[in-house]
Structure 1
């Protein structure tokens, strides 16, 4: 990871207010990085940061927006993680509301663990991530070597 991180930001509908409040609180940290968001969350984050930047006469960041989660945005994000294009995931998911794309959410979270991506699923963890001394520094995560899995013998009987 370079000093300037690629940060993915996602929030389920019942957590969008929380993610906007968090982004507004941490806007000075976030605008120093590249932001990637799913659907509506991206528009809300972009608008919230634009207001903060306007108040402070700072150029707002460009927010790359993917599809909405249920329309494939979670899968797009997972693909970006596999390609090494995401360094951190901030995902405020709603544990009380069933989602039509629960399998995609589970797959996304699995990929973050597989690729050792720092992941925050609530405001406290997200605050700890952005306040870490590593947040604005180069960092090389240790990735598990899955070569043995790739080269395993497969019994076709």
Structure 2
């Protein structure tokens, strides 16, 4: 089985939360093929030394690039820690990404609680592929 392909995205006020979450679950994420939008990918590489395929930052089309990977069947999970209290100039792109996840039945976590649930599923997939 291929490595689980996971997109990691975080709004500015949620980037530290995402970095800490990935750090806490690094034993799982190091066995995944990781993708991230620009700055998030840069932080994951610098802070955690993880190999990450980075696309553009969200406001520059990164959310749409992740959406395209979803449509092409090249993504299994999306963890997108959103800041629901701050307006985003690229909100239409964010909505499109979430819509693609819904249409294609791609698991999408938008907060730490649902991200934890996705990690449980990813661990299960990794464990079953060892058999």
User: What TM-score results when the alignment is normalised by the length of structure 1?
Assistant: 0.77
Unaligned segments of structure 1, at least 5 residues: 51-60, 139-157
Q: Distance in 2 between matches of 1:45 and 1:69?
A: 16
* Residue-pair matches, total: 127
The residue aligned with 2:64 is 75
Are residue 28 (structure 1) and residue 27 (structure 2) matched? yes
Quote the RMSD (CA, aligned, Å): 1.3
Question: Where do 1:3-152 residues align within 5 Å?
Answer: 3-50=2-49, 61-132=50-121, 134-136=124-126, 137=128
**Greater C-alpha radius of gyration:** 1
User: What TM-score results when the alignment is normalised by the length of structure 2?
Assistant: 0.91
Moved over 4 A (4+): none
